[in-house]
Structure 1
Amino acid sequence: MILVIDVGNTNIVVGAMEDGHLKGSYRLTTQIPRTSDEYGITMIELLRQKSITPQDIEAVVISSVVPDIMYSLTNSIKKYFNKKPLIIGPGLKTGISIRTDNPREVGADRIVNSVASYELYGGPCMVIDFGTATTYDIVNEKGEFIAGITSPGMRICADALWRSAAQLPHIEIKKTKGILDSKNTITSMQTGLVYGYIGQVEYIVNKAKEEMNCPQLKIIATGGLAKVIQDGTNVIDHYDGLLTLKGLELIYQKNR
């Protein structure tokens, strides 16, 4: 059994994977400062809910876009699981080539998602990760990461409205029944945010297909808010909420 850990800007997702199957997953808040003991004890207690012990874990793989927490997190794995974690970064075998101006600046999460999309769904493909930022990453039929697009996430957009306009409230991100359902401040904001974002997704997807001359480009969506967008468009071919965790396990198998 593999412990896979995806450290994002908002959440840390911890999963126990075995042969491509998720045995349990848990979310921690990234922003809360924790010591190595707090990380270790928390993870052990969470795994215990699924009757998983540290002795059941044969390896640990970490993808992180938050360097500040890595010292405590890495030491917690060494101390409580007696394992040296495999950390996604340069030098690892991934099965894809990064064809960008500076491959080292491509985030670990984007590499992991690209590996999983290409391995599980085939290329050419685009993976859209609806997280703190929304990222669009393209892998061609040869398994080459050829482009990555970054835009503000939906929560960032919603928070910007709330913080910058004195009379606008903090809203739940949800799809309204339609454009004409905007009959009060909250539904007005929800409609503008979600339908506007659907428009962004459709334009970027269709523009990528046009520039690549590749109408068969597969579109895979992941991330916490992906379902909100998928329900309003037909350009997304697959939704995979476990894409990053699956990618971490795939990379471990390539490097064991």
Structure 2
Amino acid sequence: MLLVFDVGNTNMVLGIYKDDKLIKYWRIHTDKEKTSDEYGILIGNLFQHDGVNINEIADIIISSVVPDVMHSLENFCIKYCNKQPMIVGPGIKTGLNIKYDNPKQVGADRIVNAVAAIEKYGYPSILVDFGTATTFCAISKAGEYLGGTIAPGIKISSEALFQRASKLPRVELAKPGKTICKSTVTAMQSGIIYGYVGLVDKIIEMMEKELKSDDVKVIATGGLANLIASETDSIDCVDNFLTLEGLKIIYNKNKEQL
């Protein structure tokens, strides 16, 4: 079995692949202070609860945008799984032609998403990942990674509103169904949700023009993808496991080197 880690700033998602099929997955909080033993206890309990034998883990691959957590996570892999993990970064084959000014600045999660989207959906395409930050990535009609846009995530934006406006309450991220609202709570929900939908639609509209193609596929992923995608016509599909699929694909491209 293959264990994959998608380590984000807020959460990390773990998945187990058996015969190229995702059979289990979990979402846990990314904690820079946790030791390898604490991750061992937490992940071991998740495995035990869902009947996964840690001794059956054959290989591990990690994509991370949080360098501070990597020491503990790598030590967990070595100590508890007896495996040296494959890390997405320099030296790893992805097959991706990156046209960024400095390819080393492209986040591992954006690379992994692009690899998965090209294989699963073709190109040209736009990938929208709703995480701590919301990233928009463009794939050309030649299959090249062109770059994109990074915006504050919807939770970061709403937290700023809660913290800086002392009379406004903390509200649930839910759709009120209208913009002419008659309470402070629904007015805030309307501004947060529909305002963010407008941000997403505008960026995708501009990217599609810059790609100069009429058949751009727009794929969304990330924890809040379904919430926003349900309110916009610019997103064609939501793939909740795009990053995990990309990790599996990259592992398959590199497993001969292990």
Pairwise same-fold verdict (TM > 0.5): yes
- Residues 130-160 of structure 1 deviation map (CA, whole Å, 9 limit, x = unaligned): 0100000111132211012100000011001
Q: Distance in 1 between matches of 2:94 and 2:104?
A: 14
Q: Which amino acid aligns with 2:204?
A: V
8 Å Cα contact 2:140/2:211 also seen in 1: no
Alignment of 1:120-131 (within 5 A): 120-131=120-131
Q: Distance in 1 between matches of 2:28 and 2:60?
A: 17
Q: Which residue does the alignment assign to 2:61? A: 61
Q: Which residue does the alignment assign to 2:192? A: 193
Q: Distance in 1 between matches of 2:214 and 2:48?
A: 46
Q: Distance in 2 between matches of 1:78 and 1:42?
A: 16
In the alignment, structure 2 segments of 5+ residues that lack a partner are: none
8 Å Cα contact 2:20/2:248 also seen in 1: yes
Q: Which amino acid aligns with 2:194?
A: Y
Alignment of 1:164-179 (within 5 A): 164-179=164-179
In the alignment, structure 1 segments of 5+ residues that lack a partner are: none
The CA RMSD measured in Å over matched residues stands at 1.1
Q: Which residue does the alignment assign to 2:83? A: 83
- Residues 72-119 of structure 1 deviation map (CA, whole Å, 9 limit, x = unaligned): 110110011010100000121112111111100110011111111111
Q: Which residue does the alignment assign to 1:73? A: 73
TM-score in terms of structure 2 length: 0.96
Alignment of 1:25-174 (within 5 A): 25-31=25-31, 33-174=33-174
Secondary structure of the corresponding residue to residue 179 of structure 1:
coil
Secondary structure of the corresponding residue to residue 211 of structure 1:
helix
Q: Distance in 1 between matches of 2:78 and 2:35?
A: 13
Q: Distance in 1 between matches of 2:16 and 2:222?
A: 18
Q: Distance in 2 between matches of 1:211 and 1:106?
A: 20
| C-alpha displacement of 1:31 | 3.1
Secondary structure of the corresponding residue to residue 60 of structure 2:
strand
- Residues 180-209 of structure 1 deviation map (CA, whole Å, 9 limit, x = unaligned): 3x2111111110111111111111111111
Q: Distance in 1 between matches of 2:143 and 2:127?
A: 13
Q: Which amino acid aligns with 2:233?
A: N
Change (3 A) 1:184 1:154: same
- Residues 9-37 of structure 1 deviation map (CA, whole Å, 9 limit, x = unaligned): 00111111224422111122113621111
8 Å Cα contact 1:24/1:47 also seen in 2: no
Percent identity for Structure 1 against Structure 2: 47
8 Å Cα contact 1:127/1:219 also seen in 2: yes
